[in-house]
Structures are given as C-alpha cells and as structure tokens.
Amino acid sequence: MGALSHAGVFAPPANDADGRRDIVGLDRTELTDLLVELGLEAFRARQVWHWIYHRGATDFETMTTLARPVRQRLAESLTIGRPGVSRDLQSEDGTRKWLLRMRDGQEFETVHIPEEDRGTLCVSSQVGCTLTCRFCHTGTQRLVRNLEAGEIVGQVMMARDAIGEWPAPKDGRLLSNIVMMGMGEPLYNYENVAKALRIVMDGEGIAISKRRITLSTSGVVPMMKRCGEELGVNLAVSLHAVTDELRDRIVPINRKYPLAELLEACRTYPGLSNARRITFEYVMLKGVNDSAADARELVRLLRGIPAKINLIPFNPWPGAPFERSDWKQIERFADLVNAAGYASPVRTPRGEDIMAACGQLKSDSMRLSAAERAAMAAVIAEKEAAQAL
C-alpha cells in the first residue's frame, strides 16, 4: 500500500488520551455549539476565544473572567492543546526550527525567521508532501498526511509561547508575518488551511492581517481563485522554470496544470493589482534554469501580471541532484529581471546550519548511502504513480 493513500484519510484523534476534546482549531460557530452542548451559554464562546487566541491561555483555570463553575465545566470536557516539541534548534543567524510531534506520532517542522522590521513564521500544511519537486527535500518524504486546522494554528500558538508573545503588541511583533511555505502543498489541504488562516486572521485573537500572510503554491490551478476570493491572502507561486519541458521535470504538477494555465490563473487572481502583486519564486539551479535566456523568457512570460520575482539560491540537502547557481550567475539573472522593471530580491538563505532554509525541511533523518538514494528514487516513483502525474 503506497504512502499516498494515507494523505488526508487518517485524521489524527481530536481527543486527548483522557478523552477530553482539544478546542484549538474549532471555528467560532463550532466552539459556540460545543459550549452549548456542555450546557453553557453561547456568549461564553467569545470569552473563551479571547482567552485562547488573544491571551494564549492553556488552562481554563486562568480564565478569571469566567465564574469558577464554568471553568470547572470547561476543564472537565475540554483541553487547549499545543503540539509537542520534539526538537528545538537555533541557528547562528537567529532562525529557529522546531520539530513538532502530533498525537498520532507524526512529525513536521515550523521555522521562525527574525528580521529587523518583522518576524516571519514559516508554517507547514502537511506532514511531507504528495508532490515530488526534484529540488525539494520534503518531496522525498514518504509519509504524508494533511494537517488538521488545529495543528496549523497550533504552530503559531507554539511559536508565540516560545518567543513569549502573548498577548501580541500592536507594533514591533516578533511574530508579525506568516508564510505557508513549510512542508506540504497548502492548496492540496485547502479546507484545513483556510479554516486555520481564518482563525489566525480573526481580529479578536491572533489578529495577523491577510496582508501579512502569504500562501505559496506549486501551482494547484483549480484552487487558486478560491484562495484569493475567500482568504484574500498574498499568493506566491513556485515557478522555477520557463518551459513546460523543464517544469514538467522539476515541478511535476506542471504535467497536470501546465504553464499557460498557471499563468492565466495568476493573471485572474482575485484582488490582484500593482499594490498587491503575485510573488513568483524561482529557485536558482546551476546550469539548469539560470541562463540569461531563461531570465529573458521569464520576463516575457510574466508580462501583464503584477508580479514580484523572488530568486532563491538552491539550498542543498544530502543526496540532492542539483547545485546552487554561482553567485555571479544569480546576479546576472537578477540584473536582467530588474532591468525589465521587476523588483527581484534574492532571498538570503536563513538557518542553513540547522537545515531550516527553504526546501530543506524533512521530518525523518536522511542517510546518505547509495541504498537510501535508491530508496528515495523509489519513493518518488511511487508517489508520482499514485498521483498519475
């Protein structure tokens, strides 16, 4: 039985071992219904919401605006969960990576990247990924399942706990931005991601605005419009190649949704304007996609789309079949793109010493033997067969 058949099928248990229900990840309506079921008044939901998502409470006993019997009733049946932290690694540059463990034992990673004027949390949407982009470490991971909404919000809450930011200040937050750029393809787990982001954006709680949230997709064309209409978050698209021939090979979802369809979906992304551009991510792979001709073709393809181009120097991982482009080549590429009028920052790799940079996330350890590499190739073949890509 292939790993893919597990994706989204085996949801983790919603209850703690003692049978109490974890309420992180419920939307307001679900929380209200649940409290009413417990015999409490509906308006309590709003109070509880404030304690959980604004104050960061993890214990009903601390909710001092609730009468003691109400707190007791809540604590009897409910919990306010957090992901378990299996590992907590800090890079020399301040980047921090957590390996989180869920109730069913599955693990995935979350990364915090502090910068001068902001702090960005790189959030995962799946354990592993069903896709197999050739340059991405997550793509080689066999085990895949969708994360529940509570597990996605839980990453933000755990990070807030760790950096001590409850309640969050209005300005100067250490966790001010969110990018759905961790493990997994967020648009293949849309319902849970959408539910989680609505909770994160809720003004009476974590309150991170849609303008500070970016969702990155490898190009799940049929879901892009909904994402723009329903969530209104910023979109980043993992382009990485300017011909179908190459993109078919390195971003295999291209075989399902080729460049022309992808770019059309970008052109019509709801809310797109010069003030709200799509970010096109382009990983710089030495001798593969980094020539001057590629840069010119990129500019031609994106004509008419309000766009930013984000050049990402390839981040290596053990056994990866590519090398990072030479710095001079990256500069030449960036110059050509800049000359065409695009802002094209080169993304500085962060947290490389702890394998926390883009595309390096993978929850099980990677051995380097030839046998392992062969096994990896087999996993990719199996995943692609299951996807019929």
- Does position 216 interact with ligand SAH (CB under 6 A)? The reply is yes
- Does position 138 interact with ligand SF4 (CB under 6 A)? The reply is yes
Q: Taking a C-beta distance cutoff of 8 angstroms, is the pair 362, 126 a contact?
A: no
Q: With contacts defined by CB under 6 A, name the span among 126-134, 145-153, 257-265, 310-318 that binds ligand SF4.
A: 126-134
In the complex with ligand SF4, the residue whose CB is nearer, 95 or 238, is 238
Q: With contacts defined by CB under 6 A, name the span among 79-87, 169-177, 214-222, 337-345 that binds ligand SAH.
A: 214-222
Q: Taking a C-beta distance cutoff of 8 angstroms, is the pair 322, 285 a contact?
A: yes
**Cβ neighbours of 105 (radius 10 Å):** 8
- Does position 130 interact with ligand SAH (CB under 6 A)? The reply is no
309: closest CA among 326, 294, 324?
294
- Does position 185 interact with ligand SAH (CB under 6 A)? The reply is yes
**Catalytic residue selected from 136, 227, 358, 372:** 358
Rg over CA atoms, the chain: 21
**Catalytic residue selected from 107, 109, 185, 281:** 109
Of the candidate residues 60, 190, 314, 333, the single one contacting ligand SAH (CB under 6 A): 314
Taking the complex as a whole, how short is the minimal distance between the CB of residue 67 and ligand SAH, in angstroms? 45
Catalytic site includes residue 109:
yes
In the beta sheet, which residues pair with residue 120?
Answer: 113, 177
DSSP run (H or E) holding 163: helix 149-163
Residue 194 CB burial class (10 angstroms; 0-12, 13-18, ≥19) = buried
Of the candidate residues 359, 362, 380, 383, the single one contacting ligand SAH (CB under 6 A): 359
- Does position 238 interact with ligand SAH (CB under 6 A)? The reply is yes
In the complex with ligand SAH, the residue whose CB is nearer, 185 or 294, is 185
Residues with Cβ within 8 Å of residue 97, at least 6 apart in sequence:
87, 88, 89, 91, 109, 110, 111, 112, 351, 354, 355, 356
- Does position 294 interact with ligand SF4 (CB under 6 A)? The reply is no
Q: What is the pairing mode between strands 177-180 and 84-90?
A: unpaired
Q: With contacts defined by CB under 6 A, name the span among 80-88, 132-140, 269-277, 376-384 that binds ligand SAH.
A: 132-140
Catalytic site includes residue 358:
yes
In the complex with ligand SAH, the residue whose CB is nearer, 190 or 314, is 314
Number of residues in contact with ligand SF4 under rule CB under 6 A = 11
**Cβ neighbours of 80 (radius 10 Å):** 21
Of the candidate residues 4, 52, 127, 131, the single one contacting ligand SF4 (CB under 6 A): 131
In the complex with ligand SAH, the residue whose CB is nearer, 217 or 344, is 217
**Cβ neighbours of 283 (radius 10 Å):** 29
In the complex with ligand SAH, the residue whose CB is nearer, 135 or 190, is 135
Residue found by looking up tokens 């702890």 in the block: 354
3-class DSSP assignment, residue 82? coil
Q: Taking a C-beta distance cutoff of 8 angstroms, is the pair 202, 147 a contact?
A: no
Residue 190 CB burial class (10 angstroms; 0-12, 13-18, ≥19) = buried
Q: Taking a C-beta distance cutoff of 8 angstroms, is the pair 324, 316 a contact?
A: yes
Q: What is the pairing mode between strands 177-180 and 119-122?
A: parallel
Residue 215-254 contact track with ligand SF4, rule CB under 6 A, x = bound? ---x-------------------x----------------
283 is in the binding site of which of ligand SAH, ligand SF4, none (Cβ under 5 to 8 A by kind)? ligand SAH
**For residues 177-216, which are near ligand SF4 according to CB under 6 A?**
184-185
Rounded CA-CA distance 130/140 in Å is 9
In the complex with ligand SF4, the residue whose CB is nearer, 79 or 138, is 138
Which positions touch ligand SF4 (CB under 6 A)? 129, 131-133, 136, 138-139, 184-185, 218, 238
Residues assigned a catalytic role: 109, 358
Q: Which residues would be at the binding site for ligand SAH (CB under 6 A)?
A: 133, 135-136, 181, 185, 216-218, 238, 281, 283, 312, 314-315, 358-359
